[in-house]
Structure 1
């Protein structure tokens, strides 16, 4: 209770602070004066709280209804957003929705139909230009908003390997990917600087959204005004360079890397890009402005001062080479291709991104033909918790329950997962054994530490089928032969409202059926899992029931109303 009161007290104090006054006397305000001649214009747009913004998931079957609802509450499409789906600005501050709007907005987010995300944070994936079927890497993925945006671009074909180094943040990433209901994600747990070279052929696209000082987030995180010092960027730069350099090593020839931060500091931005371009001359900067043509933005810097912690300019021997503007004319000429989005240009947060392309004729990533493959008996094994393809026993169990099975099914513990052929190709591929002249045979994830794969679809219990996961019901119902019954829209609506009729009243075919079952609205394809016993009970999470009821105009009766 004491912890809760302390948190509440901090929140109250935070709301009572005059952030405009704090910002005016901040080191960040002074620093931007070194980076922009018109810093006052930036400052005037850098401290008011952000509006709520959200991205609609086009993989959701009812995404058009979600867009209509957002419009009905005063939402407006973000005009520069040019990705799949849509993005919206809502008519209230972040976290300030009220009443039924607040409840339904939360339910839409929790069921993956939309993702609440800062608008400028959507830019890197737009710049990445992901195409269906590609193999994509998100190197610093948690909490997962950009991973799920990549998944929306992939659709049902391709794979995005989402990496996070901090195990606690891995759990958050898994939760958000499961919420989103995409099948193309593989979640791994590695230090991005040492990410294994798997698959050896490299990645088509790599997102490098690195940890940073967050100086572009003052409208979301006003504490930045009082906490930021110039040494923050200097202390993070080595990590940022190392992560981007690793991306340069594992991207395919002709592949694309997007480097991004929510920082305004050139030490974390152009200086990092310049340092990695100097190390990897096969990289070139593509013009970033053309990828999102409607957003107002500035070109990347070619020159900048290095600031001491009182924001005075450091010169001479005190300046590390990687902090300073580059001297290489090739790099200097390309740095304006970077994109700087300032708060006064976006009407929201500040952001930086750079699009790097590896030359198509760069050296191949793999030496796979030079070493002998380790015998299977001697090869490293995945741990027991790693996802694996269904074995014969699991296949027989699910065929007994469903008849025809969906493709690309996996098992992890008691969970049945559905993924993509591209994820399976990573699992099946051979790879070099680190530190030796040998090859590890395919049929495993090692050395990748895979935490989660694809869409959780069903659960087993003691080796037998137990139930379908509600989030997968719509996807699964059209693909199976048994365990699903078509019903009328009126019947489904009555179940959502709270009625629990005996199974035979829903359909004579269900008179003798017991246990988990799917009911499919033949008119629009909505599928819901139920438990059949003496009565028919919904097996839906409360948020899913809330959304379905709202979309179908159903009033959910409370227990008191039923009595």
Structure 2
């Protein structure tokens, strides 16, 4: 697709139909101000739609909601990091993490970083593998475990040396943990219309303990000095602020809440709640 095609699309579908997200580093994320129906049905967009499908299939483009891109950015992934994505399916955030480690490598070298992407359900792991295999990377391991009881892992930097010196592999501690937990999903009501029939105020309460247990396991697997990002698709403080408060209470002085107000400055945000009502 040429720049001329993009201008024609803007002319016919409205100004700024395609524009970069100002808060995403490097202009690597773009917003398409068109609905799926417009993209599929408008004859003027046929070539652009085919371009998107082809680039998605070969791994050059990932179609992802803007809000879903935020949690991995706050992980501040560096070259050589060991990263755990605790509840990874369907895999858009995992793919984003893989992009980050490949971008952080030195030119001409393969990254030494490792991403372990976990999910509870086998079927969701299949989807996860399908969505990440486009990356064609050797730096990904997919696991199928309950996140709240994710097992401790061992890692030897060089197996031959470990056997020669009779050294036991060291316990794998993660530099970064992404804890995007199961939730009520009430933050997706604008697009998940079936939730209007299923949602109740008690759903957040039902998920709270599971969310705390998953996040506590993530903290236990985190290296000293490491960073964990906790996120949900919910607006309910029982699933967000209340979980964070419980993590801090249980962890004492071993964990601190980071101030990231200076990161992604153009991202619109607001402070978390200090009090909430449990219904």
TM-score for the superposition, normalised by structure 2:
0.81
In structure 2, how many angstroms separate the alpha carbons of the residues matched to 1:204 and 1:128?
A: 9
Whether 2:118 is the aligned partner of 1:163: answer: yes
Query: What's 1:289 paired with?
Result: 261
| 2:23 matched residue in structure 1 | 80
- Residue 217 of structure 1 and its aligned partner are, at CA, apart by 1.1
The structure-2 alpha-carbon separation of the partners of 1:201 and 1:167, relative to structure 1 and needing over 3 Å to count, comes to closer
**Superimposed CA distance per residue, residues 160-207 of structure 1 (whole angstroms, 9 cap, x where no aligned partner):** 100011000000000011123333211111111111111424100000
Native 8 Å contact 2:21 2:27 kept in 1: no
| 1:205 paired to 2:147 | no
Q: 1:275–1:76: structure 2 CA closer, same or farther, 3 Å change rule?
A: same
* Correspondent of 1:150 among 88, 94, 97: 97
| Structure that is richer in helix per residue | 2
| Residue 71 (structure 1) shift | 5.0
1:402-431, Cα deviation, whole Å (9 max, x unpaired)? xxxxxxxxxxxxxxxxxxxxxxxxxxxxxx
State which of 39, 47, 63 in structure 2 corresponds to 1:97.
39
1:230 aligns with 2:176: no
Select which of 42, 48, 53 maps to 1:106. Answer: 53
Other structure's SS at 1:280 match: helix
**1:189 equivalenced with 2:136 (yes/no):** no
Does the CA-based 8 Å contact 1:214-1:263 persist in structure 2? yes
Q: Deviations over 1:246-301 (max 9, x none)?
A: 00111000000000011000000011111111111211111133222111111111
Cα distance in 1 for residues equivalent to 2:209 and 2:62: 32
1:160 match: secondary structure: strand
Report the count of equivalent residues.
Answer: 241
Question: Residues 268 and 220 of structure 1: is their aligned pair in 2 closer, same or farther, counting only changes over 3 Å?
Answer: same
- Specify the alignment match of 2:187 in structure 1: 216
**Higher relative contact order (Cα pairs below 8 Å, separated by 6+ residues):** 2
- State the Cα distance separating 1:69 from its structure 2 match: 8.8
Aligned pairs for 1:308-319 within 5 A? none
Q: d(CA) in 2 for partners of 1:276 and 1:184?
A: 30
**TM superposition shift of 1:228:** 1.4
Report what 1:475 is aligned to: none
Number of the residue aligned with 2:74:
127
Moved over 3 A (4+): 68-74
Q: Closer, same or farther in 2 for the Cα pair 1:114/1:136, shift >3 Å? A: same
In 2, Cα distance between equivalents of 1:116 and 1:266: 28
Structure 1: 5+ residue stretches without partners: 1-64, 308-563
2:115 touches 2:140 (CA, 8 Å); kept in 1? yes
Please list the CA deviations of residues 443-485 of structure 1 after superposition, one character each: whole Å capped at 9, or x if unmatched. Answer: xxxxxxxxxxxxxxxxxxxxxxxxxxxxxxxxxxxxxxxxxxx
Whole-angstrom distance in 2 between the partners of 1:69 and 1:268? 46
Between the aligned partners of 1:198 and 1:285, the Cα distance in structure 2 is: 26
Q: Using the alignment, how far apart are the partners of 1:70 and 1:112 within structure 2?
A: 22
Q: Does 1:239 align with 2:210?
A: yes
Gaps of 5+ in 2: 10-16, 41-45, 103-109, 155-170
Q: Is the 8 A contact 1:163 1:190 kept in 2?
A: yes
Deviation at 1:130, TM superposition (A): 0.5
| C-alpha separation in 1, matches of 2:6 and 2:95 | 23
Q: 1:225 deviation in Å?
A: 2.8
Q: What does residue range 522-537 of structure 1 map to in structure 2 within 5 Å? A: none
Aligned residue number for residue 166 of structure 2: none
Measured after TM superposition, the shift of residue 305 of structure 1 is: 1.1
Q: How far apart are residue 95 of structure 1 and its match? A: 5.5
Q: Secondary structure at the match of 1:137?
A: strand
Cα distance, 1:223 vs structure 2: 2.5
Deviations 1:366-391 (A, max 9, x none): xxxxxxxxxxxxxxxxxxxxxxxxxx
CA distance in 2, matches of 1:257, 1:276: 12
Question: Separation in 2 of the partners of 1:239 and 1:69?
Answer: 51
Secondary structure in 1 aligned to 2:257?
strand
Q: Report whether the alignment pairs 1:270 with 2:244.
A: no
CA distance in 2, matches of 1:100, 1:92: 15
> Quick one: distance in 2 between partners of 1:258 and 1:69?
41
Change (3 A) 1:142 1:276: same
Q: Which of these two proteins has the greater Rg computed from alpha carbons?
A: 1
Q: Do 1:126 and 1:291's aligned partners in 2 also have CA atoms closer than 8 Å?
A: no
Deviation of 1:242 after TM superposition, in Å, equals 0.6
1:224 positional shift: 2.4
